[in-house]
Amino acid sequence: MYRRPWPIFIFSVFQVFIEPLLNIVLSAKLSSLTVSAYLHALFAGGHWIGAICMLGLPVVMGVSAYAMKKWSYAVFVVCASLILAQNFQAARDSRISLTFAASLYLSHIALITYFLLPSVRLPFFDKRVRWWETATRYLVKFGARFEIADGESRDESSDVCQIHDISVGGVFALLPVKIEDNRIIRLRFSPNGRHIFSIRAKVVFHRGQSETGYGHGLQFVELTSATRQMLVELIRELRATGCPSRDPSGSDWEDFKKWATRLLTTGKGLLPEYVQVQSRMSALVHGNHQAEQTKEAA
């Protein structure tokens, strides 16, 4: 759950560690030279542009893809375009065969097309769907009060809610009423008796009604430096006391095996599935809450 998409990770590793070596071996073979002789000819001949395209740009592409930021997407596209241009020029100069040039050209076109797909492109530009950047959420049971920030009048007795997990960025809480996404509420709670929090929070998702209320994912907004520091101290206390945290996906290796098995058996998994992450997380929270209710009833 808290990992980059496996296709992006695998591509990044390939670009950084394998692509440069593969380029050297293939180029040496096409030149009928040993690898050492080819490298000597490459650098001794002053072919720096070719060397950069062959050895440097793939690494930059891999690092950029792994970073998955706005700037890295632009860097990735520029590097891929430069490599395409270099391959085209090499074919025109008869340094590589037309067939080999065409295969390289098509492979890079397919690669660029993949990164232009909306589901692949979006995480680069929208940090809200980068689930691997989500702060660790600790499972808690805090009583709290809330009020709708637009001043909508409410019966005070219904303003009690319960927080079920918390991070430095937000909480998952059960509220007695359903509040639409993007609405702002104010949360007030004092989980450790020392810190009193009064925080504005935005509804980023909500779940269906349960016996005790509606589940809402709340993102803290407009935090002051003092409030943020108190949150950091609270999270540090929860971690130090062994409070359980939420990461349902298990180890990296187990998660990779699940992804690979799903890809081989269903063909799904080549595209980042960030759209499902929020619903999976909120469903898990909602399911855990129902399990706790069942346990208490028993």
Q: What is the pLDDT of residues 217-243, one digit of tens each?
A: 999 998 999 999 999 999 999 999 989
Please say if the pLDDT value at position 79 is more than 80: yes
Question: Of 63, 96, 128, which residue sits at a domain end?
Answer: 128
Q: 113-168 pLDDT, tens per residue? A: 999 999 899 889 887 778 777 778 899 999 999 998 665 545 444 588 999 999 99
Whole-number pLDDT of residue 63 = 95
Whole-number pLDDT of residue 149 = 65
Query: Do the domain assignments include residue 105?
Result: yes
Query: Do the domain assignments include residue 203?
Result: yes
Mean pLDDT in the chain? 81
Query: Do the domain assignments include residue 32?
Result: yes
Q: pLDDT band for position 96 (50/70/90)?
A: low
43 and 155 share a domain?
A: no
Q: Which structural domain range is residue 211 located in?
A: 134-240
148 and 100 share a domain?
A: no
Task: Name the range with the highest mean pLDDT among 37-46, 141-150, 168-177.
Answer: 168-177
144 and 221 share a domain?
A: yes
Query: Do the domain assignments include residue 191?
Result: yes
Question: Of 128, 143, 160, which residue sits at a domain end?
Answer: 128
Query: Do the domain assignments include residue 80?
Result: yes
Higher per-residue confidence, 128 vs 183 = 183
Number of domains within the chain: 2
Whole-number pLDDT of residue 288 = 41
In a 13 Å sphere around the CA of 287, the CA atoms on its Cβ side amount to 8
Per the confidence metrics, is the pTM higher than 0.95? no
